[in-house]
Chains A and B, each alone.
Chain A
Amino acid sequence: MSALLEVEDLKVAFTRRGEPDSVAVDGVSFDVQPGEIVGLVGESGCGKSVTSLAIMRLLPERGNRVTGSIRMDGDELTALSDGQLRERRGRDLSMIFQDPLSSLNPVITVGLQITEVLTRHRGMDKKAARAEAVELLDRVGIPDPRRRLDAYPHQLSGGMRQRALIAIALACSPRLLIADEPTTALDVTIQAQILDLLKQLVAETGTALVMITHDLGVVAGLCDRVNVLYGGRIVERAERHELFRAPRHPYTHGLLGSIPRLDGPPGEDLAAIKGSVNDNLPWTSACAFAPRCPNALEVCTSVTPAPVEDGRFLRCHNPVGAS
């Protein structure tokens, strides 16, 4: 089976004159099969959002350097001109952002923001686009969609705004949807509604979904395969049941241990990871996680761990469970 999206050795470095480059994404490779839900998980600063922006080519034009290959259906996205890419954005691949209020235009009605996509990419006339927009809003679970078309973003609640944004992203039935923390700004009960909606849409339309989140709980219920990022590199990748049953990388293991569980024993101390992401070592000469790692060996601070693909992808000198 050929992959829908293949990201190979993606590197994003932010440059600033007179200062060394700051590398946000450092050789990330992963692929997404048609209809699959792939998770990118990590804490703040691990490069998950920058990865998604680089795939959509939404990073600012200046001040950064992107290398590596991003292929969709075998076409190299990095080689497309701006015009060609614009044709594909929205139609083949689209994105849902974290904060729906700042990603919707506040002075344009929700209806116009949806029909804009339809007239632009699907060549519909105004009337047909409006009818389709009602359909879309209905499908993402917005009650009374005809009236909502004339509403401005500020008149909708947070959950409704996120639904409107999903409707815009789905307008051209893209084959790949990238969702960057789509539920982080929402309350849990609303989050449950949105996750349920996404799951249902993926099942109905066959869209592939790249889910970017910091919440391992969200990943556990949604994703087929999970990539765990740390310091700009993927440190572990596995099928979700495998990953949660037996995390091999000490970072994944630590993350799981530090989450308070609803069904866990209360009152006991959590197995926290010491230090913070500021303590990272450079990947070029060590394992970035070594200073915080309970399993660290001497070799961890002097040699970059090579990636191992052995049933699951792993980048570690001394994984959990190895003798």
Chain B
Amino acid sequence: MSLLEVEDLAVHFPITQGTLVSRTVGHVYAVDGVSLTIEQGETYGLVGESGCGKSTLGRAILKLTEPTRGSVRFDGRDVAALKGEELRKARRRFQMVFQDPLSSLDPRQSVESLLQEGMKAHGLTGGHARLQELVDAVGLPKGSLRRYPHEFSGGQRQRIGIARALCVEPDLIVADEPVSALDVSVQAQVLNLLSRLQAELGLTYLVIAHDLAVVRHVSDRVGVMYLGGIVEEAPAGDLYADPQHPYTKALLSAVPTPDPEAEDRRERILLAGDLPSPAAPPSGCRFHTRCPWRQADRCATERPELRQLEGAPAGHRVACHHAEAIKAGTIRPHEVDATLVDEAAGFPVDGPDHASSVQEILGR
């Protein structure tokens, strides 16, 4: 049995209008029908650009955000239905590591108290020896326990965040952009730490990041998200060797590599225009407005399901009507007219006109 089974999960945020009587005038379709499974001891990577719903998906899995529909089964138990005390108890087994270590740590709590708080809440005995062991495990210097978050560097703070997630001995850790706030040299240290901890403690990770190279490096399997849905899912190596979805192809071709020769040779697939607003997602295939391989028949009307192509390795699934034809080269890429995203026309809100995230639209 898989450790985590997510089925048809959706998170729709209502857009409300009116000061006295608020009425719902639309929805932001942040996550819209995502299914995925994560096995024990595996690392699942979720990539996508900003606004694709990857963070919301991570939060919905931990029930930090209420899902609109769908189920999240953790170790056979439906988390989405849990409430109150039951949910709190269940949370011991799934923890989160946040992007910005400074704003996710209480500045007035010492490391010792930060770590102890979670352990106490779950009735674990946090003796000094256990705390020291945690601090050593994540590679913090001696004497860290008595210090406060501001006394540490960015990389060390992220280590505290990891120690805090580890202190309640969870099975699953959801890491939302764990290294994107860090400098490259420090980023590597934290990535190495994550993989060492996984090997030692048998952890399961869901790593959410926008950096494809990072995700590929840490993950066993990777899911690529676009506008609230997974468009391709594959073992990390296969995704890079044989990207099947046009969006994955474009994404891979856009990542700069530190190798001048490869850069000179590379053929970029430049996507025209911007990511459409998640409040007014395109009909049919969400990607059809920017897709260079778009066909006239079904792309704009029918939403493709994730499916496995013939001859593709197990677990490599793609949501594209024309994946076979693209692979065989029978349809060629063509020019796409850039469509500007006019946020103001998209939905009738008094909120910010161009919001870069769901939080911004909702004014949180």
Contacts known (A141-B338, A154-B353); A216 close to B258, Cβ less than 8 A: yes
CB of B183 within 8 A of CB of A43, answer yes
Residue of A with least CB distance to B214: A260
- Are A155 and B343 in contact (CB-based, < 8 A)? yes
Q: Which of A21-29, A76-84, A269-277 contacts B (4 or more CB under 8 A)?
A: A269-277
Enumerate B166-199 residues with CB–CB distance to A below 8 Å. 183-189, 191-192, 195-196
Interface size class of B (residues with CB under 8 A): 35 or more
For A254, the chain B residues whose CB sits under 8 A away are: 185
Please name all residues of chain A whose beta carbon is closer than 8 Å to the beta carbon of B214 when the two chains form the complex: 260
Q: A217 is contacted by which of B153, B192, B257, B339 (Cβ under 8 Å)?
A: B257
Contact (Cβ within 8 A) A143 B256: no
- Contacts A156-B354, A278-B153 given; indicate if A195 touches B256 (C-beta within 8 A): yes
Type the 1/0 row for A213-255, where 1 means its CB is closer than 8 Å to any CB of B: 0111111110000000000000000001100100000000011
Can you name the residue of chain B whose Cβ is closest to the Cβ of A144? B340
Q: Are A269 and B50 interface neighbours, CB within 8 A?
A: no
Question: Any chain B CB within 8 A of the CB of A261?
Answer: yes
- Beta-carbon contact of A263 and B153 below 8 Å: no
CB contacts (< 8 Å) of A135 on chain B: these are none
Contact of A263 among B211, B262, B274, B341 (CB under 8 A): B262
Interface pick from B77-85, B86-94, B107-115, B246-254: B246-254
> Is B340 in contact with A160, judged by CB distance below 8 angstroms?
yes
Q: Is B212 on the interface with A (CB-CB < 8 A)? A: yes
| Among candidates A155, A191, A256, residue contacting B258 with C-beta atoms closer than 8 Å | A256
Q: Which residues of chain A are within 8 angstroms of B237 by Cβ–Cβ distance?
A: 266
Q: Which of A154, A188, A221, A292 contacts B49 (CB 8 A)?
A: A188
Given A188-B251, A215-B256, A255 and B338 touching (CB < 8 A)?
A: no
A201 contacts the other chain (Cβ, under 8 Å)?
Answer: no
Cβ contact of B188, chosen from A158, A196, A270, A277, cutoff 8 A: A270
Which residues from A are CB-within-8-Å of B262? Answer: 220, 263
CB neighbors of A among B221-249 (8 A): 236-237, 240
A270 to B185, CA, bound (A): 10
State which of A43, A158, A263 has its C-beta within 8 Å of the C-beta of B257: A263
At the interface, yes or no: B150 with Cβ under 8 Å from chain A?
no
Min C-beta distance of B289 to chain A, whole Å: 13
Q: Tell whether A189 is near chain B: CB-to-CB under 8 Å.
A: yes
| Chain B positions within 8 Å of A15 at CB level | none
Select one of A155, A188, A273 contacting B254, CB under 8 A: A188
- Near B by CB (< 8 A), chain A positions 170-203 give 187-193, 195-196
Residues B270 and A193 in contact, CB atoms below 8 Å apart = yes
Q: Which of A257-271 contact B (CB under 8 A)?
A: 257-264, 266-267, 269-271
- Whether B270 contacts A220 by the Cβ 8 Å rule is no
Count of A interface residues, CB-CB < 8 Å = 57
Complex contact B268–A196 (CB within 8 A): yes
Once the chains bind, are A220 and B50 in contact (CB under 8 Å)?
no
Q: Determine whether A119 belongs to the interface, using a CB cutoff of 8 Å to chain B.
A: no
Question: Is A2 close to B, CB under 8 A?
Answer: no
**Cα separation A272 to B186 with both chains bound (whole Å):** 7
User: Is B274 a contact of A258 with CB atoms below 8 Å?
Assistant: no
Distance A155 CA – B352 CA, assembled complex (angstroms): 9
8 Å CB contacts to B: which residues of A292-322? 292
Verify A189–B263 contact, CB threshold 8 A.
Answer: no
Chain A residues with CB below 8 A from B49, complex form: 187-190
Please measure, in the bound complex, the distance between the C-alpha atom of A191 and the C-alpha atom of B274, giving whole angstroms. 11
Cβ-defined partner of A241 (8 Å) among B188, B236, B261, B341: B261
Q: Tell me the bound Cα distance from A128 to B63 in angstroms.
A: 57
Task: Please tell me if the beta carbons of A262 and B213 are within 8 angstroms of each other in the complex.
Answer: yes
Q: Which of A159, A259, A292 has the most CB of B within 10 A?
A: A259
A188 close to B268 (CB less than 8 A): no
Tell me, yes or no, whether A284 is within 8 Å of chain B by CB.
no
Report if A205 contacts B (CB, 8 A): no
A215 CA to B237 CA in the complex, in Å? 24
B256 pairs with A217, CB closer than 8 A: yes
A:22-59 near B, CB below 8 Å:
43-44
**A273 → chain B closest CB, angstroms:** 4
Q: Which of B183, B186, B216, B353 contacts A266 (CB 8 A)?
A: B216
Q: Which residues of B contact A241 (CB under 8 A)?
A: 260-261
In the bound complex, CA of A155 to CA of B355 (Å) = 9
Chain B residues with CB under 8 A of A263: 240, 257, 262
CB atoms of A221 and B185 under 8 A apart:
no
Q: Do B217 and A214 touch across chains, with their CB atoms under 8 A apart? A: no
A305 → chain B, closest Cβ, in Å?
Answer: 19
Q: How far is the CB of B355 from the nearest CB of chain A, in Å? A: 10
Take A187-B210, A266-B236, A266-B237 as given contacts and tell me if A258 and B187 are in contact as well, using a CB distance cutoff of 8 Å.
yes
Of B156, B185, B212, which one neighbours A273 at CB under 8 angstroms?
B185
Residue contact A262 to B260, C-beta cutoff 8 Å: no
B344 near A: Cβ within 8 Å? yes
A141 to B156, CA, bound (A): 42
- What CA separation (Å) do A254 and B186 show in the bound complex? 11
Inter-chain contacts of A102 with B (CB < 8 A): none
Q: How far is the CB of B132 from chain A (nearest CB, A)?
A: 21
Measured between beta carbons, the chain B residues less than 8 angstroms from A274 are 189
Given A192-B268, A273-B188, output 15 extra A-B contacts at Cβ < 8 Å: A187-B210, A188-B210, A188-B254, A191-B254, A193-B270, A195-B256, A217-B263, A220-B259, A241-B261, A260-B188, A260-B214, A262-B252, A263-B257, A272-B186, A277-B183
Which B residues lie at the A interface, using CB under 8 A?
Answer: 49-50, 153-156, 183-189, 191-192, 195-196, 210-214, 216-219, 236-237, 240, 250-264, 266, 268, 270-271, 273-275, 337-344, 352-354, 356
CB within 8 Å of B: which residues of A? 43-44, 141-144, 148, 154-160, 187-193, 195-196, 214-221, 240-241, 244, 254-264, 266-267, 269-274, 276-278, 292
Please name 13 pairs of A and B residues whose Cβ atoms are closer than 8 Å in the assembled complex, sorted by A.
A43-B183, A191-B256, A192-B271, A241-B260, A241-B261, A259-B184, A260-B188, A262-B213, A262-B216, A262-B255, A266-B237, A269-B196, A270-B192
